[in-house]
Structure 1
Amino acid sequence: MRTACIIWIAFVLIGFQVQAQDSSDVKVLPIFQSKLERQLITQFESQPFFLLQSLDPGTNIYHDNWENLVLQLDKLAEKKKSNVQLLSDIFFYTHNRILKNYTTFASFAGTLSTGNYDCVTGTAVMGLLLDRYDLDYQIIELEGHVYIRGFVENIPFIIESTQPVNGLLVGERKVRNFEKKISEENTEPLFEPLNERIGYRTHARKQLKIAEIGLKELAGLQYYNDAVRKFEMGSFDEAYVQLIKGELLYPAPRITQFKGLMEKMILGD
Structure 2
Amino acid sequence: MKRILFIILGLVLVVSHGMSQEWDGEKSVYENLKEQSYLMSSSEPIQLFQALHAAEEPNTERFDKLLDKLDSKAKKKNYTEWFLGEVFYKVHQYLLKNYTKHSSFNQMIQSGDYDCVSGSALYALLLERYGFSYDIIETDFHVFVLVKDQDKTYVLESTEPREGFIKDQEEVKAYIASFKPKVNPRKKIMSELAGLSAETEEGKTIYSSISLKELAGLQYYNDAIHHFNQGKAVTAEKQLIKAKQIYPSDRIRLFYEYLSERNNSDKNLAGR
Q: Distance in 2 between matches of 1:101 and 1:173?
A: 29
| Contact 1:122–1:162 (Cα < 8 Å) also in 2 | yes
User: Which residue of structure 1 lines up, in the alignment, with residue 17 of structure 2?
Assistant: 13
Judged with a 3 Å threshold, the aligned counterparts in structure 2 of structure 1 residues 206 and 91 are, in CA distance, closer, same or farther, namely farther
Q: Distance in 2 between matches of 1:79 and 1:109?
A: 30
Q: SS state of the match for residue 251, structure 1?
A: coil
Q: Distance in 2 between matches of 1:124 and 1:249?
A: 15
1:29 counterpart letter in structure 2: K
Judged with a 3 Å threshold, the aligned counterparts in structure 2 of structure 1 residues 135 and 81 are, in CA distance, closer, same or farther, namely closer
Residue number among 45, 48, 51 corresponding to 1:48 in the alignment:
45
Q: Give TM-score, length-normalised by structure 1.
A: 0.84
Quick check: 244-253 or 183-192, which moved more?
A: 183-192
Q: Give TM-score, length-normalised by structure 2.
A: 0.83
1:169 counterpart letter in structure 2: I
Report 1:208-227 matches (<5 A): 208-227=205-224
Please report how far the alpha carbon of residue 61 of structure 1 lies from its aligned counterpart in structure 2 after TM superposition: 3.9
Judged with a 3 Å threshold, the aligned counterparts in structure 2 of structure 1 residues 201 and 119 are, in CA distance, closer, same or farther, namely farther
Q: Confirm or deny that 1:78 pairs with 2:75.
A: yes
Q: Confirm or deny that 1:95 pairs with 2:89.
A: no
| Contact 1:184–1:208 (Cα < 8 Å) also in 2 | yes
User: Which residue of structure 2 lines up, in the alignment, with residue 264 of structure 1?
Assistant: 261
Q: Distance in 1 between matches of 2:217 and 2:77?
A: 34
CA deviations over 1:181-240 (Å, ceiling 9, x no partner): 22242577666156629xx759x9983333210111111111111111111111111111
Please report how far the alpha carbon of residue 175 of structure 1 lies from its aligned counterpart in structure 2 after TM superposition: 1.2
Aligned pair count reads 248
| Contact 1:145–1:201 (Cα < 8 Å) also in 2 | no
Quick check: 74-83 or 52-61, which moved more?
A: 74-83
Q: Confirm or deny that 1:255 pairs with 2:259.
A: no
CA deviations over 1:85-122 (Å, ceiling 9, x no partner): 11000000001101001011100011100000000000
Q: Distance in 2 between matches of 1:12 and 1:177?
A: 41
Judged with a 3 Å threshold, the aligned counterparts in structure 2 of structure 1 residues 205 and 73 are, in CA distance, closer, same or farther, namely farther
User: Which residue of structure 1 lines up, in the alignment, with residue 162 of structure 2?
Assistant: 165
Q: Distance in 2 between matches of 1:258 and 1:240?
A: 9
2:17 counterpart letter in structure 1: L
1:154 counterpart letter in structure 2: D
Report 1:1-269 matches (<5 A): 13-14=17-18, 15-17=20-22, 28-44=26-42, 46-61=43-58, 63-80=60-77, 82-186=79-183, 192-193=192-193, 196=196, 201=199, 207-268=204-265
Q: SS state of the match for residue 31, structure 1?
A: coil
| Contact 1:155–1:171 (Cα < 8 Å) also in 2 | no
Q: Distance in 2 between matches of 1:36 and 1:233?
A: 25
Q: Which has the higher helix share?
A: 2
User: Which residue of structure 1 lines up, in the alignment, with residue 10 of structure 2?
Assistant: none
Identity of aligned residues (%): 30
Judged with a 3 Å threshold, the aligned counterparts in structure 2 of structure 1 residues 258 and 80 are, in CA distance, closer, same or farther, namely closer
